[in-house]
Amino acid sequence: MSQSGIALSIVIPVFDERDSLPELMAWIEKVITTNAIEPAEVIFIDDGSADDSWKVITELQQTYPRIKAIRFRRNYGKSAALQKGFEAAGGEVVITMDADLQDSPEEIPELMKMINEENYDLVSGWKKNRKDPVSKRWPSKFFNAVTRSASGIKLHDFNCGLKAYKNEVVKNIEVYGEMHRYIPVMAKWSGFKKIGEKVVQHQARKYGKSKFGWQRMINGFLDIMSIMFVGKFGKRPMHFFGTLGIIFFMIGFGILGYLSILKLGRNIFKISERPVFFFGILTLIIGAQMFLTGFLAEMISRNGPSRNKYRISDTIGIDMKHLED
Ligand SMILES: Nc1nc2c(ncn2[C@@H]2O[C@H](COP(=O)(O)OP(=O)(O)O)[C@@H](O)[C@H]2O)c(=O)[nH]1
Ligand SMILES: [Mg+2]
């Protein structure tokens, strides 16, 4: 048991899912009681929904006291919601799940077993038989192939909303931007190596509509570059920029030095008539720029980022002060 004595935390990001919530909560409750998973908490993070999702959550809480909730003042994105949910989660096992009824709560007991008994750090769902339109499935296949080869983690479905974690995993990763797609990659970089997957049931969306279009997909691709970079050089950016800086600087220095010696020796040409002269100047400047970038990155990373500040307007069952820090 963790210090809080809670066996399971279910973290559910919500954005305009009013119609799905009552059915989802009833289903989760059924799974928890039939499998005697106690104590369990369900944490909803309402991310500035424009419909009455918050009102529905508040009402559901009267029936199901295990519900806790956080409400953002505006929409910050799925990653932000997961991050705050992870900070609030006290369960020994933490399971994330979409709010739209596409993920099945029936998978919970088996996922818990894989964490508790088979000692996995992280288990990702795999929507093997995915009930979404082709416009979603194909980009997703491509995305998964890229992420697989970039990260070396052999998962089929990185972006599955249904995942299970050991508590210490969620406390040791920081999810922001559109990074929720790369949580397994972040977990690996943080030293959690036992990462597995489980084929999970997937349903077509019953109510409401999908919130992930191509704009968010592009941000997702940019984020994988950040994640690989931060994972490798986040704490020592000068090693990356400095190395590139030295290479460029030496090339430029070599070219200009060579031209200077020629000029001094024979003085028979105008230095600016040699095209390589401009190349030399260019690489020298790029080299110097790289160094400056490296120094700036070092200074910023030393002062620590404050990107996980989100404005929270309400909470249920959760200490708000501790969350806004
Ligand atoms: N907190 C939060 N949750 C979101 C946001 N966008 C989507 N979600 C939730 O993430 C889950 C998956 O989103 P969905 O639109 O169904 O994506 P799809 O399954 O890929 O079509 C659902 O539970 C959504 O409510 C967001 O901006 N903030
Ligand atoms: Mg969905």
- Is 213's pLDDT higher than 70? yes
78 lines ligand 1 (CB under 6 A): yes
CA of 15 to the centre of ligand 1 (A): 6
pTM of the model: 0.81
Is the distance from CB of 49 to CB of 14 less than 8 angstroms? Answer: yes
CA distance 51 to 15: 9
Say yes or no to pLDDT of 222 above 90: no
- Is 47 close to ligand 1, i.e. is its CB under 6 Å away? yes
| pLDDT for 305 beyond 60 | no
Complete DSSP assignment for 29-97: HHHHHHTT--SEEEEEEEES-SSSHHHHHHHHHHH-TTEEEEEESS---HHHHHHHHHHH---SEEEE-
Q: Is the CB of 75 under 6 A from ligand 1?
A: yes
**pLDDT tops 90 at residue 91:** yes
Write down the pLDDT at residue 1: 46
Report pLDDT digits (tens) over 175-192.
988 889 999 999 998 899
C-beta separation of 230 from 240 below 8 A? no
Q: Which pLDDT belongs to residue 104?
A: 96
| Dist. CA 208 → ligand 2 center (Å) | 9
> 134: CA distance to ligand 2 center in Å?
14
Query: What is the percent of the chain with per-residue pLDDT over 70, rounded to a whole number?
Result: 95
Tokens of 63: 């029936």
By the 8 A CB rule, do 189 and 88 touch? no
pLDDT digits (tens, 9 = 90+) for 224-246: 777 777 777 877 888 899 999 99
Res 97 pLDDT > 60 = yes
Ligand 1 centre and the CA of 205: distance in Å? 11
166: nearest Cα among 2, 324, 299, 323: 2
Atom of ligand 1 nearest to the CA of 210: 15
pLDDT tens digits, one per residue of 253-302: 999 999 999 888 877 778 888 889 999 999 999 999 998 998 888 887 76
**DSSP for residue 60:** H
Start-to-end CA distance of the chain, whole Å, equals 26
The third-level CATH classification (topology) of the domain covering 8-233 is Spore Coat Polysaccharide Biosynthesis Protein SpsA; Chain A (3.90.550)
Atom nearest to 97 CA in ligand 1:
23
> Which residues are 9's β-sheet partners?
41, 94
Distance CA 197, CA 179 (A): 19
Which residue's C-alpha comes closest to atom 12 of ligand 1? 98
Pull the structure tokens for residue 19: 């119609």
Around Cβ 230, how many Cβ atoms within 10 Å?
17
Closest approach atom of ligand 1 to CA 75: 27
Q: How far is the CA of 203 from the centre of ligand 2 (A)?
A: 9
